[in-house]
Every structure is written in C-alpha cells, then in structure tokens.
Amino acid sequence: MLTYFLPIENFGTLFVHSIKENNEIFSTTKNGKIPLIGADDIAKAAFDALYAEKSANTDYYVVGPELYTYDEASTFSALFTEVLGRKITHKHLTDEEELALYQSFGLSKEYAAMLNAGEGLVANGSEEAFVGTNKTITGTHTLRQFVEANKQIWLK
C-alpha cells in the first residue's frame, strides 16, 4: 500500500484565491514540516508497485524530496514571494478559523474537522517523521518546479 501526504498540486487549487487575492497562505500547522509530493511521483510509485515482479507486501510512504514549513527559512511563503515577485505571507489560523474557512468552501463539518486534525498532526511532526526511513519512497518533483511552471495561476 502507498500512502502520500500533501500533493504539490494542492497549491494550484486550495490556495489559489488566498495567494492571488490576499497574498497569503493559511494553515494551522505551526512550524511542522511537510514533504510535499508531486502527483507524477505518486503515479510512478503506484506504477512501480503494481508492475513489480514480486509484491513487496508492505506499506510505503511516498514523500517529496524537500521538507517545507509555511514560514521558516525554507518555506512556502518565501518560495512564492521569490517566484511571483510580491510578498506572500503565512497566516496562522486557529482551529476554529480553519474549520469555518473549510466549511465556507462547502466542505461538511466532519470533513473540515478531519482536514484540521491532519494539520494538527503536521504541527506535531507527524509527516517529517516518515522522511528517510526504509519505508519511504522519495519523489523527485519539487514545489519550486511546480510554482515556476504554473506561476500564471497566482498572478494578479
């Protein structure tokens, strides 16, 4: 079984409005680090697992090649600022603010709570713990590559 974390491509959907209109990215992850993974890397790992001569009969975690936080040195906001040429900041949300925001997108209360709980786990280091283990498949696509190739999505 393959398990993956936050796909890079979510920045092309989930954060479009907040980056384009408000110059911000929001989360409740505090300084938790996230190994963003590209959809192509997930697909390759799945293909390799399905077409392997012998099944590994184990679980693997598919992670990206870099760890990011929302607002430390190697960050989403710094990368978007550099590529887009305008200041993009990280807005720390409370759990209540994030739940309300997700529900304003039309998500059910239960689904919003599940997403919020996931960000709470990130804040506590859950995703970072999977990087570099013998159960990890590391992708090659980076957030920078995605942002540079798709920057028109967030241009004003």
User: What is the pLDDT at residue 104?
Assistant: 94
pLDDT single digits (tens) 85-106:
999 998 889 999 999 999 998 9
Confidence of residue 41 (pLDDT cuts 50, 70, 90): very high
Going from the C-alpha of 150 to that of each of 7, 11, 57, 147, the distances in angstroms are 15, 10, 37, 5
User: What is the pLDDT at residue 127?
Assistant: 84
Taking the C-alpha atoms of residue 50 and residue 39, their distance in angstroms, rounded to an integer, is 16
Is the CB of residue 104 less than 8 Å from the CB of residue 18?
no
User: What is the pLDDT at residue 63?
Assistant: 92
Ranking 1-10, 51-60, 134-143 by mean pLDDT, the lowest is 1-10
Is the CB of residue 63 less than 8 Å from the CB of residue 45?
no
- Does residue 74 have a pLDDT over 80? no
pLDDT single digits (tens) 5-37:
678 998 898 889 999 999 998 888 888 888 889
Q: Which domains does the chain carry?
A: 2-146 (3.90.25.10)
